[in-house]
Amino acid sequence: MKKMFIIALLALGNSVFAQDYCKQIKKEVTDNNTSFTYESPYKADSLPAIRAVRAYSTNPEAEFDNFNLIMAIPCEFSDLLEKGTSGETEKEETGIVIEFDDKSKLEDEGISISHDKKGDGTANRIAYYPITPDNVKDITTKKVVKIHLGGGVITVTPEMATAIQKYVTCLRDVKKM
């Protein structure tokens, strides 16, 4: 009986502290109830910032379904400059690599990396990575450990890796109305 009580307390304790990631998703709906946007929480000042966003329309005249991971990683703005004959210019960067804990990778060399220059000499590399039927299984079942955006690399914390999995799972399962 004592063991059953302890097991019940442990089960209750685990459910109390478990996060419901889907409840943290922000939802916006247009007035005509045909366009929907879902966005995972993020803090722009807490870098690296990684969020999952899905926007879609049920309007037959303007159908779309955009599902992306939006990633921003910090760097020094000087890292984004290259010397040329006419002085320094901002590099044009492309390419995303998402590394998983099982050593597998998702790669897309064609994605452009944009740069957001800050006033203090720093910048953010920013990229939109499309979530598709071909990559959603990897993103929802494997832990992300590193992300490469152009010439920048970040290590993803285990907590953030879990959040990425959970948020993408929630947005994947959004039911179109």
Is residue 90 pLDDT above 70, yes or no? yes
Is residue 177 pLDDT above 50, yes or no? no
The closest of 38, 80, 18 to 176, measured between CA atoms, is 38
Place of tokens 């006419």: 86
Q: What is the pLDDT of residue 8?
A: 44
Q: What's the angle, vertex CA 56, arms to CA 59 and CA 116, rounded to 5?
A: 135
Average pLDDT over residues 51-80: 93
Cα–Cα distance for residue pair 165/136, rounded to 1 Å? 9
Helix, coil or strand: residue 97: strand
Neighbouring residues of 23: CB distance < 8 A, sequence distance ≥ 6: none
Q: What class does CATH assign to 18-172? A: mainly beta
The pLDDT tens digits of the residues spanning 92-108 come to 999 999 999 999 999 99
Q: Which two tokens stand for residue 112?
A: 């452009």
Is residue 24 pLDDT above 80, yes or no? yes
Phi, psi of 20 (to 5 degrees): -100, 95
